[in-house]
Structure 1
C-alpha cells in the first residue's frame, strides 16, 4: 500500500514539475515573442517613415540626388540618433584615411594642420621629414590659404583641410602658402608616402625628459618606449609626458604605453552594458622610477586620459594643466560594411584599477595651469622653452626630483 502511495506521489510531483516547466517556458517564449514583435514594429515604423520621405522627395525634388551622398548621410544620421555621443560613421574614403593615420603612413604633401581660429586658414603645426612639404621648404607657423583653388577658410574644420591635402600617390595638389613672415607662394606638390611619428622628445630644463605624445596609434607603443629609453640614457632625472590635445583613440596602445611606466598590477577595467566587469590589462614589473608629470588639457581624451590616470594612481604621477575631456568609454572595433564604409559605437565604460570612472567628469589636475586668453591665442606659436604650461610641468617635475 505504501509503495502504491509513493508511486502516486512521485507521479503527482512529476506532473507538477512538467506544468511549472511548461508555464515558465510559455512565459519566456511570450516575452521573447513580444520583444521580437516590438522590435519588428519599431523597424517597420523606421522603414515606413524613410519610405514616405523618399517618395515625397523623389516625386518633387528639383535638384539631382547623389545616391552615394544620400546613403552616407542617412548612415551618419542613424549614428547621431542612437544616444551615443561617441558613435561615428565613416564613409569609405574617410575610413581609408583614418586607417592610414592609424598606421602612421599617409599619402599627401606631408604637413599637419589646424584650422586657425582667427583667420580660418590651415595653420601648419608639423612638417614631416622626407615629404614634399619638407623638400619644398614649408615651415611650421606658415599657413595654407588655398588648396586646388579653394580657400581653406571656407572649409568646415581641421579634418576637412587635412583631407583635402591627402591624395593618391603620384597625384598633384596645388596650394597657396603663406610663409611665417607672410610672404605668399604657390606650389604644385606631388603626393607621396611619408611616415607620421606620434612621439617627439628631448632633454629640457635640468635633466628633465620631455615627451610629447600627439596620438595613440599602432606605432606609438614602440615610439614611446624608445623615447623613454633614450632619455634615460641621456641622464633624465624626471619625466614630463605632454598629452594635450591627444584624443587617445587607440586604447590598447595607451595601455601598453602605461604598462611601461607603472609597477605590476591591474591598470584598467571595462564594464559592459549588463554590468559585467573585465580586466583590460595587468602591468608587469617594468616601471619608471623617476618622478613623472602628465600635462593635460580639455582635449586630452580616451586612452590619453587612461594613461594619465594610470600613471597617477599606480606610479604617483602629478597631473598639471586643466580638466580633461571626460571620455571614459571603450569603443568597438571598426565594423566595416560592404561599400568600404565603417562605424564605431560605445561598448563599455572605462574603469581605473580601483573601479572608478571619469566618464563625463574628466580628470582634475593636481596643479592648475590654465592658459590666459592671450596665451591661448598664441598656443601654436609657443616652443618648448616658451610654452607656459610646459614650463609649469617641467618645474613641477624638477621639484619632485629635488632640483627645484
Structure 2
C-alpha cells in the first residue's frame, strides 16, 4: 500500500533535521569553545605565574637583572619544557654567527678537532692552504689555548671551534703543542680555504674506503667524484666510514643515497597525526652494484643513520661497528624571531623507505666490532691502515666480494679471537658473580636463621 507524505509532514521532517543538525553543530562548537577557553586559561595561568615571580624578584632580589640574559634563558627554558630534546635556541649573536659561518663570512683556521682524554683539542685534519697549515699545525698536534683561554675550560669541540672563528682579515691567538710536546703560540689571520666533507683512498684487496664526515651542499658532488675515482681504479667493494657523522642536511644526504641506490623510496616525514609525506626517492640512474659496508658507531646519527639504513635495505650493505645513536627526527630550519634570535624545533619523525624507524633505538649492526678500553684511548691516534674497526670493515667487504686477502683473514680471526676472549672473560666474570651471589645468599640465609633463632630465644 503506497503511502503519500503530505507537504506538512515534509516540512516538519526538514525542520526536525535542521534542528538536529543545528544542535550537533552548537554542541561541537561549545566543546571547541570550552577547549579553547581552557587552553587560554592555562596560558593565562602560566603567564601570570611568570609575572608573579618577576614582580617578587624585582622587588626583593639583591642582584641586578640583565634583561637580555633573562629573556634568552626564559626562551631557552620554554623550549626545554616542551620535552623536545632536539629543540634549540640561538641568541641573536649566536644566530648571526651561524648564518655567517654558513655563508662563508665567518671563517675558522682550517682544522678538524676532537677532544680526547687529555681534555685538549687534538687536531684530526688540517685543510690545505689554511691559516693552520701555513702556521705548521699538523694532524696530531694539540690546541691548548685560544686567545689565552685554556680549552679545558670550554664546553666541547663546538665551543672551541666557535672561539677559533672570525671574519676574514681578523686574527686569533692560538697555542698548540706539536708532536714533540713543544709549545707554540702565534696569531693566525682568518682567510679563505677549501673544506671537504669526503675523503677517500684505495685499500688492500681493492677495497674503496670513503670517509663522510657530514652531509652538506658539497657532499653529493664530492661523493660522486670519490666513487667514480675508486671505480676507475678497479675497486671491488666499498667501505663507507660514517663514524662520528652527526648527520647534517637531510636533502643532501638523500642526494648521496640516490648516487648509489637502485630505484625506490628513500624516506618519509611522519607528522604528529601519523600522516606520511615522501621526502625523496632514488631514480636508480647511477646505481652502484659493488658490495658495500657501512662503518658506524654510537655517534652516527640522523641523516648518517638514514644513509646506512638505506644502503642496507636497497644495496644489501652490511653494517659494521656498534649500534648507532638513534636520532630519527626532523628539525626545522632556524626560525628567526623579532629580536634577531632564532629557534629550531622538531617538526616530524624520520621514517626509512622500508617503513622502519631508528629513532630511540639506533641501527643494530651485522658485524659487532666495539673498541676495547685501550683502543678507545688510542682512537684518535689510529690511521686508516691500522684502525681496528676499519680493518674489520675491510675484511667484511673482502668477504662479500670474494677477494679476502691473507691479512684480511688474519684480522678477522684476530677480531673473532678477541670477541671469544671477551666472551670468555664475561662468562668467567658472570660465573664468579653467580658464585659470589650464591655465597652471599647462603650467608644471608644463615644470618636470617640466626636472627630468627635469636628472636625465638628472646621470646
State if a TM-score over 0.5 links the two structures: yes
User: What is aligned with 2:322?
Assistant: 322
Higher helix share: 2
| 1:59-109 per-position Cα deviation (integer Å, ceiling 9, x unaligned) | 333343332222222211111111111111122333344445556775122
- Please identify, of 71-80 and 320-329, the stretch whose mean Cα deviation from structure 2 is larger: 71-80
1:360 and 2:360 aligned: yes
| 1:232-252 per-position Cα deviation (integer Å, ceiling 9, x unaligned) | 112211100010011113111
1:16 and 2:43 aligned: no
After TM superposition, give the deviation of residue 128 of structure 1 in Å.
1.7
After TM superposition, give the deviation of residue 338 of structure 1 in Å.
2.2
User: What is aligned with 2:238?
Assistant: 239
User: What is aligned with 1:227?
Assistant: 226
Aligned with 2:398: secondary structure? helix
User: What is aligned with 1:347?
Assistant: 347
User: What is aligned with 1:60?
Assistant: 60
In structure 1, C-alpha distance between the alignment counterparts of 2:49 and 2:179, rounded to whole Å: 53
User: What is aligned with 1:193?
Assistant: 192
In structure 2, C-alpha distance between the alignment counterparts of 1:54 and 1:128, rounded to whole Å: 50
Structure 1-normalised TM-score? 0.94
In structure 2, C-alpha distance between the alignment counterparts of 1:267 and 1:102, rounded to whole Å: 27
Aligned with 2:38: secondary structure? helix
User: What is aligned with 2:125?
Assistant: 126
Mapping 1:245-284, distance limit 5 Å = 245-284=244-283
Aligned with 2:390: secondary structure? helix
Structure 2-normalised TM-score? 0.83
1:79 and 2:82 aligned: no
Question: Which structure is higher in RCO with an 8 Å CA cutoff and minimum separation 6?
Answer: 1
In structure 1, C-alpha distance between the alignment counterparts of 2:24 and 2:199, rounded to whole Å: 63
| Cα RMSD after superposing both structures | 1.9
User: What is aligned with 1:287?
Assistant: 287
User: What is aligned with 1:206?
Assistant: 205
Aligned with 1:192: secondary structure? coil
Unaligned runs of 5+ in 1: none
How many residue pairs end up in the alignment? 402
Contact 1:106 1:196 in 2 (8 A): no
Aligned with 1:281: secondary structure? strand
Pair 58,168 (structure 1): closer, same or farther in 2 beyond 3 Å: farther
User: What is aligned with 1:374?
Assistant: 374
Aligned with 2:380: secondary structure? helix
User: What is aligned with 2:183?
Assistant: 184
Unaligned runs of 5+ in 2: 405-459
